[in-house]
A and B are shown apart, each in its own frame.
Chain A
Amino acid sequence: MTKDEHFEWLLWLADDALILAQRLSEWCGHAPVLEEDIALSNIALDLIGQSRAFYAHAGQLEGLGRDEDQLAFFRTDRDFRNLLLVEQPNGDFGDTIARQFFFDQFALLRFTHLAQQSFDTEVAAIATKALKEVRYHAAHSAEWMIRLGDGTEESHQRIQDSVNRLWEYTGECFESNSFQTAAEKANVLPHAESAHQEWMATITNILSQATLTVPNSTWMQKGGRQGRHSEHLSYILAEMQVLPRTYPDAQW
C-alpha cells in the first residue's frame, strides 16, 4: 500500500467521525428530552475523540507537519472524504436516529475489523478503544429504531419515512474503489461486499423487530469518498471552521 492510499482511508475514518459529530452537536440544547440531549452530545464527543486520534495519526504519516487541527479546520469541502450519509441534515429526531443507526452498524463492522488487523497497529489501538464506544452507540440507535418503529402509528410512519429517505446514502459505506481495494488487500478494512451482506443482515433483523420495512431500492448516491459532496457539507464546514480560519492562532 502506498502512503497516499494509507493516508486516504485514514481520512475516511476521521472525516466520517468528525462530520457526524458536528451534526450531532447541533442537537445540544435542542433534543426532545434532557436525557437524549446528553446522550447525543456524549456520542458526538466520542466521535470527536475518534476523529482526533485518526487525524493526528494521518498527519504524522503524511509527514508534512499537518496536525489534527490543520486537517480538521484548514481543508475545503473537496478535500473531505466523509460519507454523504453523515452530512445529511438532522431533520426530525427520527431522521437523526435512522442516520445514526445506519452508520453505527457500519462503524461496528469497520472497527471490529480494524481492531484485529496488524497492518497499522496504532489504528488497531484506536479501534480497540473506539469499539467500546461504538458498541454503545449501536445499542442506543438500535433501541430507538425499535422503540419508534414499534411505537405509535405516527412514530412508526415517521421513522419508516426517515429510513426510506436516507436509504440511498447507505450504499456508499460499502463502495468499491482503488483505495478500498488496496486496504482490502492489506486486510486493514473489511471486504466491502461481505461487510455489506453482514450489515444488511443486521439491519434487516433490527428493522423487522421494529416492524419496519427494508427499502428495496438499490440505486445509491455516491461521491463523498471522492470529495463530491451535497451542498450541506459547505455549510457545516463554514460553521465549524470559521473561528480557526478567522483567528488562526486562537488559543483556549
Chain B
Amino acid sequence: MNQSSSDWPLWEVFVRSRQGLSHKHVGSLHAADAGMAISNARDVYTRRQEGVSIWVLPADAISASSPVDKDILFDPANDKVYRHASFYDLPDEVKNM
C-alpha cells in the first residue's frame, strides 16, 4: 500500500520499565513530530505504569540486518562456546542480567 504524503511518519517506541534496565522496544505509532510521538507513546504504551523513560525514533532511521544474511552473521558464533557467557555462576543478588 502506498503511504500518502499526508500520513504521519512511523515512530518506533522504546520504554525503560525501571531504572537500571535498558530501553526495550515496545511497538510503533504514528506522529507528526518527535514531541507528539513521545506524548502518543505515553498514552499508548505507558498507561499501566510500564515506564520511567521513553525513547522514540523515526522508523525509517533504523537499518536492519537482512534475513538472507542470517548464516554469515550469526552461525559462526554457534560453535565457539568459549565465547558464551554460560559458564559463570551468577549470584542471586544480580537480577536483570
Contacts and interface: CB of A to CB of B under 8 A. Distances in A.
A140 interface: yes
B30 A147 contact: no
Interface in B8-61: 8, 29-32, 35-36, 39-40, 42-44, 47
Contact of A42 (B8, B31, B36, B43): B43
B43 A35 contact: yes
Contact of B36 (A38, A136, A143): A143
Interface in A33-64: 33-36, 38-39, 42
Contacts, number: 29
Contacts of B44: 34-35, 38
A42 B39 CA distance: 12
B30 A39 contact: no
A39 B35 contact: no
> In which size bucket is the chain A interface?
10 to 19
Contacts of A33: 8, 30
Interface string A18-43: 00000000000000011110110010
B43 A38 contact: yes
Nearest to B6: A152
Contacts of A38: 40, 43-44, 47
A144 to B, nearest CB: 9
B32 A39 contact: no
A39 B38 CA distance: 12
Contacts of A35: 29-31, 40, 43-44
Interface centre among B29, B32, B39, B42 (most CB of A within 10 A): B39
Contacts of B47: 38, 42
Interface-centre pick from A35, A39, A136 (highest chain B CB count, 10 A): A35
A140 B30 contact: no
Nearest to B40: A35
Contacts of B43: 35, 38-39, 42
A39 B37 CA distance: 12
Interface in A93-123: none
Contact of A143 (B29, B39, B42): B39
A37 to B, nearest CB: 9
A34 B29 CA distance: 9
A144 B75 CA distance: 50
B50 to A, nearest CB: 14
A139 B47 CA distance: 17
Contacts of B31: 35
Contacts of A147: 32, 36
Contacts of B40: 35-36, 38-39
A22 B83 CA distance: 59
Which 7 A/B pairs are nearest by Cβ-Cβ distance?
A35-B40, A39-B43, A38-B43, A42-B43, A35-B29, A38-B44, A35-B44
Interface of B: 8, 29-32, 35-36, 39-40, 42-44, 47
Given A33-B8, A35-B30, A39-B40, 14 more contacts: A34-B29, A34-B30, A35-B29, A35-B31, A35-B43, A36-B40, A38-B40, A38-B43, A38-B44, A38-B47, A39-B39, A136-B42, A143-B36, A143-B39
Interface of A: 33-36, 38-39, 42, 136, 139-140, 143, 147
